[in-house]
């Protein structure tokens, strides 16, 4: 267990020391959301209607933007060889890396989302649903993203390729995440949406690391 914490801590350290990394994903998220009121116009009615969807789409895109950070550096500097030979199974190392990725990209989005909710004129209950949905759904973004990041190691344009692979996988998260807020507004129950979001994250927790570790082994060969 300490080995995983060890890896988790190093990933956090790297993310914080290489400054910008965290700010980049967060800044992209905020800017993408801010662009919509400017483009669509300031009518509160329209913004309220599409606000949650916008914020979720921006969260997806900003997650994709940060995916190459997961394995690319370790692949390029030989660290992946050593991780494969270390005392932890590669699947476990993937989980530790995903946890650090989530803590430095997903979690800041969750914390920032209430402010963006205000920006698109969501009411208090909707903002709570939005933040809760992001909290439950963003772990799945990091985990599913790890598959794409591992598959595209060594590819010439890994960023573009991994977004093509991963965005279709993100669709269920988007549907249920935006759906939760929508259901809260029109009066349907948001609970099933949130439960499904949690199920997606919990399902991805064991499955995505297995797939990502298999792809990593392929990349090492």
Partner 1 sequence: MNGIGAGDLVAAGLSCRRGERLVFSRLSCALPSGGALLLTGANGSGKSSLLRLLATLLMPEAGGIVWGGTPVGDDLARYRASLHYVGHLDAIKPALGVRDTLAFWAGTRGFPASGVDAALAAFALDAIADWPCRWLSAGQRRRLALARLLASPASLWLLDEPTASLDADGEQRLVAAIETHRAGGGRVAIATHQPLALADAQVLVLEDFAAPPVDPLTVEE
Angle at 122 between CA 37 and CA 117, to 5 degrees: 65
The 17-46 contact track toward partner 1, x by CB under 8 A, reads xx----------------------------
Minimal distance, residue 66 CB to partner 1, in Å: 16
Minimal distance, residue 6 CB to partner 1, in Å: 4
Assess 199 for contact with partner 1 (CB under 8 A): no
Among 83, 135, 143, 147, contact with partner 1 (rule: CB under 8 A) = 83
Smaller CB separation from partner 1, 12 or 119: 12
Listed as own residue / partner, the contacts of 68-72 with beta carbons closer than 8 Å and 24 or more positions apart are 68/149, 68/158, 68/159, 68/162, 69/15, 69/21, 69/101, 70/97, 70/98, 70/101, 70/145, 70/146, 70/149, 70/150, 71/97, 71/146, 71/149, 71/150, 71/153, 71/216, 72/149, 72/153, 72/158
Assess 85 for contact with partner 1 (CB under 8 A): yes
Among 35, 82, 125, 155, contact with partner 1 (rule: CB under 8 A) = 82
The rounded distance, in Å, linking the Cα atoms of 193 and 182 is 10
Q: Are 29 and 60 in contact (CB under 8 A)?
A: no
Q: How far is CA 125 from CA 36, 117, 118, 183, 208, in A?
A: 22, 11, 11, 11, 32
Number of residues that bind partner 1 (CB under 8 A): 25
Assess 191 for contact with partner 1 (CB under 8 A): no
Minimal distance, residue 71 CB to partner 1, in Å: 13
Assess 218 for contact with partner 1 (CB under 8 A): no
Name which of residues 58 to 77 contact partner 1 (CB under 8 A): 73-74, 76-77
Minimal distance, residue 8 CB to partner 1, in Å: 11
The rounded distance, in Å, linking the Cα atoms of 27 and 109 is 10
- What residues make contact with partner 1 under the rule CB under 8 A? 2-3, 6-7, 10, 13-14, 17-18, 73-74, 76-79, 81-88, 220-221
């Amino acid at each position: 267990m300490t080995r995983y914490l060890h890896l988790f801590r190093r990933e956090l350290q790297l993310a914080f020391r290489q400054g910008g990394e965290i700010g980049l994903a967060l800044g992209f998220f905020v800017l993408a959301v801010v662009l919509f009121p400017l483009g669509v116009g300031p009518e509160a009615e329209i913004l309220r209607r599409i606000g949650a969807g916008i914020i979720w789409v921006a969260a997806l895109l900003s997650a994709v933007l940060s995916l190459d950070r997961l394995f690319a550096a370790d692949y390029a500097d030989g660290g992946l060889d050593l991780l494969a030979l270390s005392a932890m199974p590669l699947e476990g190392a993937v989980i530790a890396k995903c946890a650090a990725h989530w803590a430095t990209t997903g979690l800041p989005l969750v914390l920032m989302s209430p402010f963006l909710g205000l920006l698109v004129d969501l009411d208090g209950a909707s903002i709570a649903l939005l933040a809760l949905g992001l909290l439950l759904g963003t772990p799945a973004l990091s985990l599913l993203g790890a598959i794409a990041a591992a598959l595209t190691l060594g590819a010439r344009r890994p960023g573009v390729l991994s977004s093509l692979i991963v965005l279709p996988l993100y669709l269920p998260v988007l549907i249920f995440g935006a759906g939760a807020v929508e259901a809260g507004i029109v009066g349907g129950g948001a609970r099933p949406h949130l439960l499904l979001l949690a199920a997606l994250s919990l399902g991805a927790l064991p499955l995505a690391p297995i797939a990502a570790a298999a792809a990593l082994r392929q990349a090492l060969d």
